[in-house]
Amino acid sequence: MSEYFNRVKDYLMDLEYRIVTEDAAEELVVIEKEEDGISNVVIDCEDSIVIIEGLLFEMNAGSADIFKSLLMKNREVVHGAFALDETGKRVIFRDTLQLENLDLNELEASLNSLKLVLSEYSAELIEFSKA
């Protein structure tokens, strides 16, 4: 287990996130903070970066209008972005940060960006999930 993984876990505890699942060998945790609408967000320490991913919704059938809208919204997202997973059907929030000089404020800013996405775009995300 690397010092970076332990530092990330300490930061998450300082920010009062609950670690739901931990895989120390993979240096990965799943977190939640229900009062902020955050659940099942994966924090994965990989080599020199930490990857933050959270499922926003699954699409039955994507449309050009949905993809266009999400790309336009990416411009407004402070940290991270909307992305598709490898199946092309799940829309996720994803952010990556450098581990070497990661500090509490930087991790907090990324998680706050996810919280903001969930609060500002919740109605639209729900509509997109019905498509």
- Enumerate long-range contacts of 111-115, CB under 8 Å, 24 or more apart: 111/15, 111/17, 111/38, 111/41, 111/52, 112/79, 113/77, 113/78, 113/79, 113/80, 114/38, 114/41, 114/52, 114/54, 114/80, 115/36, 115/37, 115/38
**Average pLDDT for residues 106-111, to the nearest whole number?**
97
Q: What pLDDT, on the 0 to 100 scale, is given for residue 17?
A: 97
Domains parsed from the chain with CATH numbers: 3-129 (3.30.1460.10)
Instruction: Using the predicted structure, report yes or no on whether residue 114 has a pLDDT greater than 90.
Output: yes
Does the pLDDT at position 1 exceed 70? no
Q: Report the pLDDT value the prediction gives residue 65, as an integer from 0 to 100.
A: 87
Predicted confidence (pLDDT) per residue in 51-108, tens digit: 999 999 988 776 788 889 999 999 999 999 999 999 888 999 999 999 999 999 999 9
Question: Which pLDDT belongs to residue 2?
Answer: 84
Q: Whole-prediction pTM value? A: 0.92
Neighbouring-strand partners of residue 52: 43, 95
The pLDDT score that the predictor gives to residue 63 is 79
Quote the pLDDT of residue 52. Answer: 98
From 18-22, 89-93, 99-103, 125-129, the region with the lowest mean pLDDT: 125-129
Q: How confident is the model at residue 28 (pLDDT cuts 50, 70, 90)?
A: very high
| Long-range contacts, 23-30 (Cβ 8 Å, 24+) | 27/1, 27/2
Do the Cβ atoms of 12 and 1 come closer than 8 Å? no
Contact 42, 51 (CB under 8 A): yes
If you average pLDDT over residues 25-48, what whole number do you get?
95
